[in-house]
């Protein structure tokens, strides 16, 4: 599993073997069973996680209704990042949609790495920029694209979403009702 995270990080920044050893000694490997949570609303998020294998949903629960913010797959990084940065309780849930293996690093260990080497600071900045881009793209999609365009974009960029996730969750992610998604799918198959 360490090979997966090393490959993902190496795509962002190159570390020497000794620098990698410095990072990896603080990794924690964890398994999450389908339906279990990485974090729940009201908990503090002290980790950044890398998904070695599996599928997680990131959502908010408002008046008993789930609002899906995103789906995260193999080789994705995930965290309740606002909680991580602010030391406040998470407002989000991160739940396994299938059995999932992750690698975590604690916030304190990451801060220590930032102090030791500017490459680690650069890596932290790259994580933050990546998360910012994900949130910005989602926000722009909701404002600037039609539900059908969002669905087509999802199929094009994340075809595995369609195969592994219940339709009502996809609809929530797209910001539409399940019935609206059904109409879009019907319209597209008739074209």
Which strand (E) or helix (H) includes residue 88? none
CB-based contact 72:131 (threshold 8 Å): no
Can you give the pTM of this predicted structure?
0.88
Query: How far is the C-alpha of 38 from the C-alpha of 141, rounded, in Å?
Result: 27
Both tokens of 25, joined, read 């000694």
Enumerate residues 6+ apart whose C-beta is below 8 A from 137. none
Strands (E) across 43-144 are located at 47-53, 56-62, 65-72, 77-78, 93-96, 100-106
Q: What pLDDT score was predicted for residue 66?
A: 93
CA distance 44 to 46: 6
In degrees, rounded to 5, the angle at the alpha carbon of residue 67 between the alpha carbons of residues 128 and 43 is 60
pLDDT tens over the chain, length 191 residues? 577 888 888 888 888 999 898 888 999 999 999 999 999 999 999 999 999 999 999 999 999 999 999 899 888 899 999 999 999 999 999 999 999 999 999 999 989 988 988 888 888 888 888 888 888 888 898 899 999 999 998 888 877 767 778 899 999 999 999 999 999 999 988 87
- For residue 167, report the phi and psi dihedrals to the nearest 5 degrees: -60, -35
pLDDT at 163: 79
Q: Which two tokens stand for residue 177?
A: 């009702």
List domains and CATH numbers for the chain: 2-116 (2.60.120.10)
With contact defined as beta carbons under 8 Å apart, do 139 and 145 qualify? no
Strand-by-strand arrangement of the 37-39 sheet: 37-39, 93-96, 56-62, 65-72
Residue 44: strand pairing partners? 89
């Amino acid at each position: 599993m360490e090979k997966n995270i090393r490959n993902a990080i190496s795509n962002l920044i190159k570390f020497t073997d000794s620098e990698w050893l410095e990072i990896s000694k603080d990794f924690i490997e964890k398994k999450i069973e389908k339906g279990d949570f990485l974090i729940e609303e009201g908990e503090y998020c002290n980790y950044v996680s890398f998904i070695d294998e599996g599928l997680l949903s990131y959502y908010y629960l408002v008046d008993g209704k789930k609002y899906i913010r995103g789906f995260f797959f193999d080789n994705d990084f995930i965290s309740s990042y606002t909680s991580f940065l602010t030391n406040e309780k998470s407002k989000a849930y991160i739940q396994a949609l299938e059995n999932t293996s992750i690698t975590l690093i604690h916030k304190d260990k990451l801060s220590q790495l930032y102090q030791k080497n500017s490459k680690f600071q650069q890596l932290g900045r790259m994580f933050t920029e990546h998360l910012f881009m994900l949130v910005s793209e989602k926000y722009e999609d909701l404002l600037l694209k039609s539900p059908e365009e969002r669905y087509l974009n999802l199929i094009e960029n994340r075809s595995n979403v369609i195969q592994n996730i219940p339709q009502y969750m996809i609809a929530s992610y797209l910001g539409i009702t399940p019935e609206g998604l059904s109409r879009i799918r019907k319209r597209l198959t008739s074209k």
